[in-house]
């Protein structure tokens, strides 16, 4: 998570480009029992041969069960460092509005030096497992548990609120590439960067396996419902992420996306197997960037298929890492963003006039590959701000002077960030000095707005007689859906959130069918203390979201907006060979089509698919396949006030002279602009019939051999692009005439092998699946003893 409480500098660049994707060729493999499969969310990968207990979490429409009064998610990040032991404001488990939230993400665990998930060694000072709070009402430990700290209290309160799920969040800005030791000093262990990716850019599968195994053990030990990965960031963009990690991360850029993808796949499969053994589905989620710059270097986030849902960090869109003054988390674009205007985004035809530094754009990016209900938008309960702002309207879209960046920020010039009383939740740079950022909890911002100096200021080093300079006037832009405070005397601009903006964003979530909201972080919410005459930590904003959601219609559980064929075929489509980093514009990835069926695809075979309106409707190919946009849900010349629809639909055809035999592939050069996630809702039409593609993992489709309707299976087959399984010794074939099965061999549909003195026939393409291991739903059909 982009933490305002840890030293960091966010990189947001104006030049954005198309990002590519790798769309999984074949999908989740054999179906689980029919009652469980019916609960699988649309597009979610299922581990081959595993009877995943989806119905423990999802209903028969694939929607998450969260309690009768929770139609949408309210996910709150709860941090481990607001313990009160430092004399500053505490935010403990009893302070959480348990009846208003649906999920809690515990921030943060880390990847330790042995590639295992950890919160540090057990001790009385460990906030997670050892600390206690004597005399604090509601913070009494549950003596039946073998651990103390926050984990004890989370488990205790979950018993009282059984519909609330908890996930352990791993990483964050400060602990993606290292972690903080018990002495508070950072250990530069490599974290996610070295755990998932080797120095030569290859996938570190051994490190990934170690981490994933430890994650399963961890959530079982402490009673969590899943794992939330906050890897910041697996992108090819140079100097992205924490500057303290650049020495390590920059050398691995070319392999980070592959490592991230392998990490998510491995976690999904190990969590699925653990869930099947325990009779409950374990969640896997991520905190995902919203910056077009970062997403540009993440291909097109192909790992989304392994996630129960994605939490978009749709904040930190503007801040003191540069001089352009704007909202922290605007919902929409208004066509006036000074940073985008400076980069000619509004005037360059290839961008389609699309402003991409807003929540709506980020939502549509992920909507390209996921149902709306598997997406949650982020809301910040903290401010970002500048001082000495010149121009703009009450500071909005003005500029702050450029100044030297805080030590360790990794940038050359920064904007003039607000400091002092306007920067209560400030970080410190590597020299121990205040990092100017205008970072405050919302309760402090409300006091500034009302001209109140709260009694807590002495805890932050200010004298009790502190006086405010100037007045902080609340401003609001209804097009952006963004409030801010403007102090004309100090020329201070603080971007905020309050009831009006949160209610508007909640209405947006309901209207779009979005799964819900994610909050960074709960401790920034506010309430009015009449006795003291000041705002303090509370739950006003979280309650506003809960109230907006409790009577809402169910969220959108279907990815496609059109009716797709119910029969699917094994034709693999993937986008690859992406240029890296700043070479990644315009994007011309290779679109590779591989025929995994037993039918020859004739010339003129038509493929159609959707890609998100986060990218303009100007995609094309350069290989004679006649790529055409046949429908665009957004036809306006810009996206002021929001994108009007979800998809651009594309048609392309095999040239008339070209056929595609079984097992053969064809590649074409593809070009499109601005990032979009995995193209979805594919169809292929030939021989007078249209089919879906198995790799889409769509609910309600059956995999068939084209033209025959045979070999039905409720879910697609294993992904051959994933990590190669370790070969297992084959069993003697006895007198069987067929060759012995081998885990490392690819078998097409109809292939026969011998294994355990039985003869087996492959119903479809398979690799690595042991004959008989998946029962009647597996790839192998038992032909009897031999």
pLDDT in tens, 355-386: 999 999 999 999 999 999 999 999 999 999 99
What pLDDT shows up at residue 22? 28
Place of tokens 């405070």: 485
Phi-psi region of 155 (alpha: psi -120 to 50; beta: other; left: phi over 0): alpha
What pLDDT shows up at residue 712? 40
Phi-psi region of 567 (alpha: psi -120 to 50; beta: other; left: phi over 0): beta
| Mean pLDDT for the stretch of residues 756-761 | 81
Domains and CATH numbers, the chain: 318-357+383-496 (no CATH), 724-786 (2.10.10.20)
How many of the other CB atoms lie within 10 Å of CB of 389? 26
Place of tokens 């298929």: 305
- Write out pLDDT tens, residues 686-706: 999 999 999 999 999 999 999
pTM of the model: 0.87
Task: Name the band, by pLDDT with cuts 50, 70 and 90, for residue 767.
Answer: confident
Lowest-pLDDT range, 231-235, 423-427, 482-486, 721-725?
721-725
Instruction: Say if residue 622's pLDDT is above 70.
Output: yes
Instruction: Say if residue 585's pLDDT is above 80.
Output: yes
DSSP string for 680-748 = EEEEEEETTEEEEEGGG--TT-EE--TTT--S--SS----TTSPPPPP-PPPP-TT-SSPBP-TTS-B-
Give 144: exposed, middle or buried? Use CB within 10 Å, 0-12, 13-18, 19+: exposed
Averaged confidence pLDDT in the chain: 90
What pLDDT shows up at residue 774? 60
Instruction: Say if residue 497's pLDDT is above 90.
Output: yes
Phi-psi region of 461 (alpha: psi -120 to 50; beta: other; left: phi over 0): left
| Mean pLDDT for the stretch of residues 385-406 | 97
β-pairing, 492-495 vs 384-386, is antiparallel
- Write out pLDDT tens, residues 75-102: 999 999 999 999 998 999 999 999 999 9
Task: Name the band, by pLDDT with cuts 50, 70 and 90, for residue 25.
Answer: very low
CA-closest candidate to residue 375, choices 514, 555, 505: 514
| Mean pLDDT for the stretch of residues 697-717 | 73
Pairwise CA distance, residues 451 & 374, whole Å: 41
Pairwise CA distance, residues 389 & 378, whole Å: 27
β-pairing, 117-118 vs 186-187, is unpaired
Structural contact between residues 684 and 569, judged by C-beta atoms closer than 8 angstroms: yes
Instruction: Say if residue 2's pLDDT is above 70.
Output: no
Lowest-pLDDT range, 149-163, 262-276, 578-592, 623-637?
578-592
Structural contact between residues 74 and 545, judged by C-beta atoms closer than 8 angstroms: yes
What pLDDT shows up at residue 349? 86
- Write out pLDDT tens, residues 247-277: 999 999 999 999 999 999 999 999 999 999 9
What pLDDT shows up at residue 777? 54
Structural contact between residues 758 and 736, judged by C-beta atoms closer than 8 angstroms: yes
* Residue predicted with more confidence, 619 or 737: 619
Q: Up-side HSE of residue 194: CA atoms within 13 Å toward CB? A: 18
Lowest-pLDDT range, 156-170, 522-536, 704-718, 753-767?
704-718
Is there a cis peptide before residue 521, judged by omega within 30 degrees of 0? Answer: yes
Give 639: exposed, middle or buried? Use CB within 10 Å, 0-12, 13-18, 19+: buried
Q: Up-side HSE of residue 123: CA atoms within 13 Å toward CB? A: 8
Structural contact between residues 371 and 353, judged by C-beta atoms closer than 8 angstroms: no
Residue 10 token pair: 């966010």
| Mean pLDDT for the stretch of residues 651-658 | 96
Q: Which residues share a beta bridge with 380?
A: 520
What pLDDT shows up at residue 734? 44
What pLDDT shows up at residue 18? 27
List, in sequence order, the alpha helices (H) in 465-582: 499-512, 540-549
Give 657: exposed, middle or buried? Use CB within 10 Å, 0-12, 13-18, 19+: exposed
What pLDDT shows up at residue 764? 63
């Amino acid at each position: 998570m982009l933490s305002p409480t840890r030293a960091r500098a966010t990189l947001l660049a104006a030049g954005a480009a198309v990002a590519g994707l790798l769309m999984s060729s074949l999908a989740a493999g054999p179906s689980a029992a029919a009652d469980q499969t019916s609960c699988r969310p649309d597009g979610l990968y299922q581990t081959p041969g595993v009877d995943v207990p989806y119905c423990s979490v999802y209903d028969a429409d694939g929607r998450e069960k969260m309690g009768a009064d929770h139609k949408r998610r309210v996910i709150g990040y709860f941090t481990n460092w607001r313990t009160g032991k430092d004399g500053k404001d505490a935010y403990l488990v009893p302070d959480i509005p348990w009846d208003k939230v649906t999920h809690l993400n515990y921030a943060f665990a880390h990847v330790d030096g042995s590639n295992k998930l950890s919160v540090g060694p057990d001790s009385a000072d460990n906030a997670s497992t050892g600390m206690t709070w004597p005399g604090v009402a509601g913070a009494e430990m549950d003596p039946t548990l073998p651990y103390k700290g926050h984990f004890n209290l989370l488990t205790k309160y979950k018993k009282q609120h059984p519909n609330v799920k908890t996930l352990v969040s791993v990483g964050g800005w400060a602990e993606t590439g290292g972690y903080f030791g018990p002495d508070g000093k950072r250990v530069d262990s490599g974290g996610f960067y070295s755990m998932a990716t080797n120095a030569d850019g290859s996938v570190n599968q051994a490190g990934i396996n170690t981490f994933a195994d430890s994650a399963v053990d961890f959530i079982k030990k402490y009673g969590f419902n899943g794992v939330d990965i906050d890897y910041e960031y697996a992108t090819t963009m140079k100097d992205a992420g924490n500057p303290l990690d650049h020495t390590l991360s920059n050398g691995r850029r070319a392999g980070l996306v592959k490592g991230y993808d392998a990490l998510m796949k491995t976690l999904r499969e190990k969590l699925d197997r653990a869930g099947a053994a325990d009779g409950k589905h374990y969640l896997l989620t991520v905190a995902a960037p919203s910056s077009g710059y970062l997403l540009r270097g993440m291909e097109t986030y192909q790992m989304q298929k392994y996630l129960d849902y994605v939490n978009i960090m749709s904040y930190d869109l503007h801040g003191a890492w540069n001089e352009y003054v704007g909202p922290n988390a605007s919902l929409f674009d208004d066509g006036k963003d000074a940073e985008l205007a400076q980069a000619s985004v509004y005037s360059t035809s290839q961008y389609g006039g699309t402003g991409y530094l807003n929540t709506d754009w980020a939502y549509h990016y992920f909507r390209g590959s996921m149902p709306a209900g598997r997406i949650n938008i982020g809301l910040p309960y903290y401010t970002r701000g500048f001082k000495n702002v010149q121009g703009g309207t009450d500071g909005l879209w003005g500029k702050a002077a450029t100044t030297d960046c805080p030590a360790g920020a990794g940038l050359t010039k920064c904007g003039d960030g607000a400091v002092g009383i306007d920067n209560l939740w400030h970080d410190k740079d590597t020299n121990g000095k205040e990092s100017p950022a205008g970072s405050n909890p919302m309760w402090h911002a409300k006091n500034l707005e009302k001209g109140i100096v709260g009694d807590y200021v002495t805890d932050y080093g200010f004298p009790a007689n502190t006086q405010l300079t100037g007045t902080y006037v609340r401003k609001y832009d209804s097009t952006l859906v963004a409030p801010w405070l403007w102090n004309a005397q100090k020329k201070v601009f603080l971007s905020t959130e309050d009831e009006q903006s949160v209610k508007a964003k909640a209405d947006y979530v309901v209207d779009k069918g979005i799964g819900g909201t994610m909050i960074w972080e709960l401790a920034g919410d506010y309430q009015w203390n009449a006795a003291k005459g000041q705002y303090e930590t509370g739950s006003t904003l979280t309650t506003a979201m809960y109230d907006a959601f409790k009577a809402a219609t169910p969220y959108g559980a279907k990815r496609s907006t059109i009716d797709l064929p119910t029969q699917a075929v094994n034709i693999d489509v993937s986008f690859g060979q992406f240029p890296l980093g700043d070479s990644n514009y315009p994007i011309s990835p290779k679109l590779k089509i591989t025929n995994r069926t037993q039918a020859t695809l004739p010339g003129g075979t038509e493929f159609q698919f959707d890609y998100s309106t986060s990218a303009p409707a100007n995609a094309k190919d350069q290989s004679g396949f006649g790529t055409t946009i046949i429908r665009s849900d957004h036809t306006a010349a810009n996206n002021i006030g929001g994108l009007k629809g979800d998809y651009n639909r594309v048609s392309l055809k095999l040239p008339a002279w070209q056929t595609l035999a079984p097992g053969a592939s064809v590649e074409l050069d593809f070009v499109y602009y601005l990032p979009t996630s995995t193209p979805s809702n594919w169809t292929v039409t030939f021989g007078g019939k249209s089919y879906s593609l198995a790799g889409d993992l769509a609910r309600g489709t059956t995999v068939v051999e084209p033209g025959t309707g045979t070999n039905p299976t409720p879910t697609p087959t294993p992904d051959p692009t994933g990590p190669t399984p370790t070969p297992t010794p084959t069993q003697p074939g006895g007198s069987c005439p067929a060759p012995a099965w081998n885990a490392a061999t690819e078998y097409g549909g109809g292939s026969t092998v011998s294994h355990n003195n039985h003869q087996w026939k492959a119903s479809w393409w398979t690799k690595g699946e042991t004959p008989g291991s998946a029962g009647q739903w597996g790839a192998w059909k038992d032909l009897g003893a031999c």
